[in-house]
Amino acid sequence: MTCVLAQKGGESVPGRLSQTLSGHIFSEEHHHLLSRIAWTKGWTGRVWVPVPVMELLRLPLVLGTAAPVRVTSSNGSVWVYHSSQFTVPLDAMRELWNARVRRIQAEEKDREAALLASRVAPDELPLSTNGERFDRATEECMLRRVRSHGTSSRYWATEAEAAWLYRTPFTAAYLSTPENGVVSQANELCRPVVLYNVEGTVDPSRFTELTCRRYDPVNYKGYFYKPVVALHMKALALHYNCLHEPQWITPHRAMKLGLSLIPHRKPLFLSMEVPSALVNIATTQRTRAPVPRVPPATDAGGSVRLEDDFDTSEGQYEKSLLIVPPW
C-alpha cells in the first residue's frame, strides 16, 4: 500500500523533512510544498497534523485560521493543518498523542493475552502479502471472521494485489459477498483498503510462506530501490519465481558481465524520469566471458577515480530509481 511517506534513508535527512504529529515523514515533494506554504504564512516548525488526528485528539483551531492543506499521492489524499494553527502548544499536542500511543500499547498487551486465551496459535494469525501482521483493529476483524466463517488460508490481500501482483485474481462470486471483505486503515496518511482472504482467489496455493514475504530489491551497489520500483520488481520476481534473489542490474551491465537473459525471460521496463530497463540476475545465464575491466584512471593530481565512465553514467541512469544514502 503506497502512501505519502518518504523512505528513511533517502537523499534528504529525515529529521529535516516535514512530518506529522505522530512522526511520519512526508516525501520530499510534499515537504517542499508544505515548507513553501508555511513560509508564506509565517509559520515556524515542520510538524503538521492530519485532520483525522485533529478530530481524534479534539485539538482546537485558532479562530479564523487558514484552511487545511491538501496533500495528494497515488494512495489518495489527506488534509493537514500546521501545528501553529492550533491553540494548544506543540508540546501539549505531542503529549496527547503519546498518551494515546501508551493506551494503544496497553491494549496491545491485552490483545496478546486475549489471543493466548482464545488459543490462536502464532502460525494461524492473519498475515499480509509481505508476511507481516496487521494492525490491532484489522487483525481482530479478521479473527472474528475466521471464527464465524472459517478460512483456508492465513494470508489476506487487496483485490489489486491478487490480480496485479500475483496474477491470481479473486473470483467475482467471492468479491460480491460483502462479508468477505475487511476494511483496514492502519495509518492516518493512507486511505482505507479492503482486504480479502486469498481463499477466494482462483488459485489460493499461489500464496505461501515463500511468495508472501517482504521483497527489498537492490542494485549492484546494494542500494535499495524506491517503493514504487520495488513493487514492480516483486511482481516480475513472483512471475519468474525468483523472489529469493534481490539484486537487479541493467541489461548493459549484464552484457559487460557476460550474462544474457534466459530464454522466455524479459527485462522489467519502467517509465520513470527516464525510460529504464532492469533484469533480475536470477533470470540470466552466463553466455560469454566478462568484458575486462579497465584499470582505474587517475586525475591530474594523481588521485585514483573510484568509478569508471560506465559506472558514472549508469549511476546517473539509475539515480531516479534508488534510495541513495546521504553519506
pLDDT in tens, 196-247: 999 999 999 999 999 999 999 999 989 999 888 999 999 999 999 999 999 9
Nearest to 19 by CA among 52, 45, 54, 57: 45
Q: How many residues does the chain have?
A: 327
Of 43-52, 148-157, 254-263, 267-276, minimum mean pLDDT range = 267-276
C-alpha cell at 97: 498523542
Q: Which residue has the higher pLDDT, 25 or 240?
A: 240
Asked which of 265-269, 286-290, 319-323 is least confident by mean pLDDT, the reply is 319-323
pLDDT value for 187: 65
124 against 303, higher pLDDT: 124
Contact, 235 vs 165, CB < 8 A? yes
**Predicted model pTM:** 0.64
Q: What percentage of the chain reaches a pLDDT higher than 70?
A: 80
pLDDT at residue 276, rounded to an integer:
83
Query: For the chain, what is the mean pLDDT?
Result: 84
With 0-12 / 13-18 / 19 or more C-beta atoms within 10 angstroms meaning exposed / middle / buried, residue 58 is exposed
Least confident segment among 46-50, 110-114, 142-146, 155-159:
110-114
